[in-house]
Amino acid sequence: NAGVTQTPKFRVLKTGQSMTLLCAQDMNHEYMYWYRQDPGMGLRLIHYSVGEGTTAKGEVPDGYNVSRLKKQNFLLGLESAAPSQTSVYFCASSYLNYYNEQFFGPGTRLTVL
């Protein structure tokens, strides 16, 4: 099993450009999450999904959109990138149970110039 994979691993954008980050999991997890991690800070939740076709806002959703058309995939989009979105982005997934542990992907390092 590959677990949680993220594409791409690195990306450099110019301000105003758009891009989509792809997260895929092969564990048949119901829940999926997108986080961002900035230096000296913990992870902050951007958006999450509790199942195929559903998404919800997390702590820092502004400037991002998401879609979950297939259970195994969770896409994070930046429509018009800003330097403040320079960060490392992590995707995670978990089972639908009462005591969940999250399984994380390796991260995408994004720089917006």
Question: Roughly how many angstroms between the first and final C-alpha of the chain, as a whole number?
Answer: 36
Q: How far is the CB of 92 from another protein (least distance, A)?
A: 8
Dist. CA 45–CA 2, nearest whole Å: 23
Q: How far is the CB of 26 from another protein (least distance, A)?
A: 15
Q: How far is the CB of 22 from another protein (least distance, A)?
A: 15
CA atoms within 13 A on the CB side of 46: 26
Our CA angle for 38, 40, 44, nearest 5°, is 45
Chain residues in the site for another protein (CB under 8 A): 4, 31, 33, 35, 40-45, 48, 50, 56, 58-59, 90, 92, 94, 96, 98-107
- Nearer residue to another protein within complex by CB, 27 or 96: 96
